[in-house]
Amino acid sequence: MDDALEYIEAYFEKQLSDIEKRQFEERCVNDKDFADEVAFYITARGALRQQLSDEKKQQWMATEKNKSTKNISFGKVILVKLMPYAVAACLIIIVVIFLLYYSETPQKLAKNYVVKNYTELSQTMNGADSLQIAIEAYNNKDYDKALQLFENIYRAHPDNSEALKNAGLVCLITKNYDKALRTFDQLSNMKQLHVNPGLFLEAVTLLNRDMQNDKERAKLLLKQIVDKNAYGSSEAKEWLKKW
């Protein structure tokens, strides 16, 4: 084995003493053949460094390309395999929306309207007065108590349209439709109201009750509401389209 290479390596691996190092360095200057050996060693190490560098860079570049290819391939696979399902799902959604929209009857709309708007009544910040107490009972679904309170208030204050309306709503929500109709009729006759929900709530009650001729009666009321641009006219317009 070539001892020179081992000696040269020992220098660059810092395995020589200070004296040995100086001797090495002087020999490089004074001994041409030895200098060639050292030059070769450095060249070889440089070539190995370059080879190593190239291999690692190729590996990293391959990882980059592999990732982007995988992403593309994965995307393609997803696209191809799932496309039929996606199309079917879209078609089903379209059909369902179509059916839902066009199968909505005025009665269904009216029922949904009650659920959406009258399951709870709004309370004001002043929770102490009797109206608010009645509303609280309504919201707690204590409908008997609520009705009694609303009727008491109305008896004491016949101009209190809110109490009358809410009494009608208790009857509507508890499916006491006949009494609800009477109450809302009374409400619609309160001329002093700037905005009177009475007619509209009558129409809602009729559609909820849905007995013979109720639908036609409701239609007439809704048309009146639209003509007068009264309370509930936007809902009335939409519901009339479903006839």
Enumerate binding residues for other proteins (CB under 8 A).
1-2, 5-6, 9, 11-12, 25, 28-29, 35-36, 38-53, 55-57, 60-61, 63-64
CB of 136 to other proteins, least distance (A): 58
Nearer to other proteins, 9 or 216 (CB): 9
Q: Give ∠ CA 91-93-95 in degrees, rounded to 5.
A: 70
Structure tokens at 29: 């200057």
CB of 48 to other proteins, least distance (A): 4
CB of 45 to other proteins, least distance (A): 6
- Would you say the C-alpha torsion 71, 74, 79, 80 has a positive or negative sign? positive
Nearer to other proteins, 54 or 227 (CB): 54
Nearer to other proteins, 31 or 216 (CB): 31
CB of 36 to other proteins, least distance (A): 6
> b vs e for 60-94, b when ≥16 Cβ sit within 10 Å of the residue's Cβ?
eeeeeeeeeeeeeeeeeeeeeeeeeeeeeeeeeee
Element at 95 (helix H, strand E): helix 32-103
Are the beta carbons of 41 and 5 closer than 8 angstroms?
yes
Q: How many CB atoms lie within 10 A of CB 43?
A: 10
Nearer to other proteins, 56 or 141 (CB): 56
CB of 71 to other proteins, least distance (A): 15
Nearer to other proteins, 63 or 69 (CB): 63
Nearer to other proteins, 48 or 96 (CB): 48
Structure tokens at 181: 């109709």
Integer Cα distance of 169 and 163 in angstroms:
10
Integer Cα distance of 173 and 209 in angstroms:
11
CB of 76 to other proteins, least distance (A): 23
